[in-house]
Each structure stands twice: as C-alpha cells, then as structure tokens.
C-alpha cells in the first residue's frame, strides 16, 4: 500500500464510514417500507434489505482493514503503510453476493411470467459471477499486463449483462403502465451509469500506476458506486413497487381502515 497524506487517508476513511451509516440506515428503511407495497412486491424489498445489510457488514470490515493498513505519523507527515495488507477481498466477496441479488431484485419487481423471468435471471447471474471472478486476479495483481488481461476478460460478461438489461428489459416492460415504464427506464439508467463506475475505478489503479492518488481514487470510486448501486437503486426499486401496487389498486392496511372509518 502506498503512503498517504493526511487528507488522502481521511477522505477514504470518511467515505467508508459514511457508507456504513448509509447501508445500515437503508436496511431499516427497506424493512419498514415493505408494508407500503403489495405482498407480491415485498420479496424485492427484502432482497434490497439483504443487499445493504451485507454491504454494511463489509464496509465495516473494510473500514477496519483500512485502519490496520496505516499508521498515523502526524498531520504534516500523513499516514505510513504498516505492511498489513488492505483486504480487497471484502469488496469482491460483497459483489459476488450482492450483484446477483441486485439482479434478483430487478426481476422480482418486474414480476415477469416465471419462465421468462427465471431464464433471464439465470443468465444474468452466471455472467455477473464470471465478471467478478475474472476481475479479482487483476485487482490483486501488481503487474500492469495481468491487470489489463483480466480487465478485458471481465468486460466480456459485463457487456453481456448490459446488453441483456438494455435489450431484453425493454421488451419485458412493454405494455406496463406509463409511470412504471418511466421509473424502470430511470432504474436502468442508474444501473448503466453506476455499473460503469466500477471498471473505470479499476482503471484508476492500472493507469495511476498504484500511487497514492490511484489507491484513494479506486476506494472512493468504488464506494460512491456502491452507495448508488445498492441504496439509491433500492429506493428506486421501492418506487417501482409502490407505483405498481397503486396501479393494481392495492392500498396499505391502515389507509384502507382510514378510508372505511
Ligand atoms: C471489475 C473488473 C474490471 C472489469 C469490470 C469490472 C466490473 C465490475 C462491476 C461491478 C458491479 C458491482 C456492483 C455492486 C453493487 O452492489 C470487476 C471491476 C467490468 C460492474 C453493482
């Protein structure tokens, strides 16, 4: 790990800390928000809660690993690497669990006919697992050509996922109500933009040649992407579930009671 200035270390530290708080707060939100949507959309919100719960735990460990990897010298002198390696595996294990769940969440909220939804989901999950597994050897290598080879390999399943999401999803939502279609197209934009962040952040490390800015850039980049792709995206899934519940004439129990009072 490269030595860091005080500001560089603190930037990554504070981003991790902010993310732990955001993930746990979102967990509570998704659990409570479940009651606001029709029962058939609740699994999507439970999956959102699982995603941010898993991520909250991993960010807590990432924060600990970051602290262990550096020793404070002074405000002027900054932070020196202790030699304890920063554990990059927390991130990859997190993705291995959460990326398939994010896809499950999307397909669950669509409530597609079973044969259509399951087939698409299986292909997406296999591609997501391949993308992450192929990224890890490159992420943990110090050799620039190894990093690039695994980057290119990982981009193949990545491109496939984007292609399925853009192409097949557009077909799948045809005929759904206008507001739902609008929310879904926003959700797809969130996926396309935030998922692009990951390969870009990876490239920081390859091209900044692992200096201090490269390391901090990767950590901050992945962290912003994770907050958006998990918590912010989950809120959109909630809006879709709510819009679909409303469109189907479903109302929460208390609202129903009030209406009859
Ligand atoms: C890697 C390696 C370099 C090439 C590519 C990558 C893509 C990673 C992506 C990760 C998405 C993670 C999400 C997590 C949220 O919970 C592995 C960095 C293409 C797209 C959405």
| Ligand 1 pocket member 183 (CB < 6 A) | no
Q: Rounded to 5 degrees, what angle do the CA atoms 110, 113, 117 make?
A: 65
Interval 151-170 mean pLDDT: 91
The number of CA neighbours under 13 Å toward the Cβ of 119 is 8
Residue 219 neighbours by CB distance under 10 Å: 24
Domain boundaries, the chain: 6-254
| Ligand 1 pocket member 27 (CB < 6 A) | no
CA 13 to chain centre: 19
Q: What is the pLDDT of residue 254?
A: 64
Give the whole-angstrom CA distance, residue 187 versus residue 231.
Answer: 12
| Ligand 1 pocket member 59 (CB < 6 A) | no
Nearest residue (CA) to ligand 1, atom 9 = 198
Q: How much distance in Å is there from the Cα of 77 to the middle of ligand 1?
A: 34
| Ligand 1 pocket member 135 (CB < 6 A) | yes
Lowest-pLDDT choice from 20-24, 83-87, 248-252, 255-259 = 255-259
| Ligand 1 pocket member 244 (CB < 6 A) | no
Q: What is the pLDDT of residue 257?
A: 56
Q: What is the pLDDT of residue 214?
A: 83
Q: What is the pLDDT of residue 119?
A: 85
Interval 13-18 mean pLDDT: 98
Q: Which atom of ligand 1 is nearest to the CA of 101?
A: 16
Answer yes or no: is pLDDT of 260 > 60: no
Residue 158 neighbours by CB distance under 10 Å: 22
Q: What is the pLDDT of residue 20?
A: 98
Q: What is the pLDDT of residue 147?
A: 94
What superfamily would CATH give domain 6-254?
Rhodopsin 7-helix transmembrane proteins (1.20.1070.10)
| Ligand 1 pocket member 230 (CB < 6 A) | yes
Please state, for a pLDDT cut of 70, what percent of the chain lies above it.
Answer: 96
Answer yes or no: is pLDDT of 120 > 90: no
pTM of the prediction?
0.89
Q: How much distance in Å is there from the Cα of 119 to the middle of ligand 1?
A: 22
Interval 13-21 mean pLDDT: 98
**Which residues are within 8 A (CB) of 26 and not within 5 positions of it... i.e. 6 or more apart?**
48, 49, 52, 230, 231, 234, 235
Q: What is the pLDDT of residue 116?
A: 75
Interval 216-244 mean pLDDT: 93
Q: Quick one: pLDDT band at residue 145, thresholds 50, 70, 90? A: very high
| Ligand 1 pocket member 47 (CB < 6 A) | no
Nearest Cα residue to 25 out of 43, 1, 48, 5: 48
| Ligand 1 pocket member 233 (CB < 6 A) | no
Interval 27-54 mean pLDDT: 96
Q: What is the 3-state secondary structure (H, E, C) of the chain?
A: CCCECHHHHHHHHHHHHHHHHHHHHHHHHHHHHHHHCCHHHHHHHHHHHHHHHHHHHHHHHHHHHHHHHEEEEECCCEEEECCCCCCCHHHHHHHHHHHHHHHHHHHHHHCCCHHHHHHHHHHHHHHHHHHHHHHHHHHCCCCHHHHHHHHHHHHHHHHHHHHHHHHHHHHHCCCCCHHHHHHHHHHHHHHHHHHHHHHHHHHHHHHCCCCHHHHHHHHHHHHHHHHHHHHHHHHHHHHHHHHHHHHCCCCCHHHHHHHHC
Answer yes or no: is pLDDT of 171 > 90: no
Q: How much distance in Å is there from the Cα of 72 to the middle of ligand 1?
A: 31
Please choose from 199, 200, 231, 236 the residue to mutate so as to test ligand 1's pocket, defined by most ligand atoms within 8 A of CB.
199
Q: What is the pLDDT of residue 151?
A: 97
Mean pLDDT of the chain: 90
Q: What is the pLDDT of residue 211?
A: 82
């Amino acid at each position: 790990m490269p030595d860091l200035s005080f500001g560089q270390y603190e930037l990554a530290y504070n981003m991790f800390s902010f993310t732990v708080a955001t993930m746990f707060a979102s967990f509570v939100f998704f659990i409570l928000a479940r009651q606001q949507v029709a029962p058939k959309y609740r699994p999507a919100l439970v999956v959102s809660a699982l995603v941010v719960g898993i991520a909250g735990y991993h960010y807590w460990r990432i924060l600990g690993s970051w602290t262990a990897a550096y020793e404070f010298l002074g405000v002027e002198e900054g932070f020196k690497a202790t030699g304890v390696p920063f554990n990059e595996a927390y991130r990859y294990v997190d993705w291995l669990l959460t990326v398939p769940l994010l896809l499950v969440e999307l397909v669950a909220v669509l409530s597609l006919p079973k044969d259509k939804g399951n087939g698409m989901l299986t292909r997406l999950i296999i591609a997501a697992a391949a993308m992450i597994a192929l990224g890890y050897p490159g992420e943990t290598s110090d050799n620039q050509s190894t990093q690039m080879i695994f980057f290119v390999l990982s981009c193949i399943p990545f491109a496939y996922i984007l292609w399925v999401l853009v192409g097949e999803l557009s077909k799948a939502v045809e005929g759904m109500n206008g507001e739902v279609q609008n929310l879904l197209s926003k959700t797809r934009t969130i996926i396309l933009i935030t998922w692009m962040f990951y390969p870009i952040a990876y490239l920081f490390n390859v091209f900044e040649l692992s200096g201090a800015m490269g390391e901090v850039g990767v950590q901050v980049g992945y962290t912003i992407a994770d907050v958006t792709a998990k918590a912010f995206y989950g809120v959109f899934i909630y809006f879709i579930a709510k819009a679909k519940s409303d469109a189907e004439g479903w109302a929460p129990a208390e609202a129903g009671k009030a209406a009859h009072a």
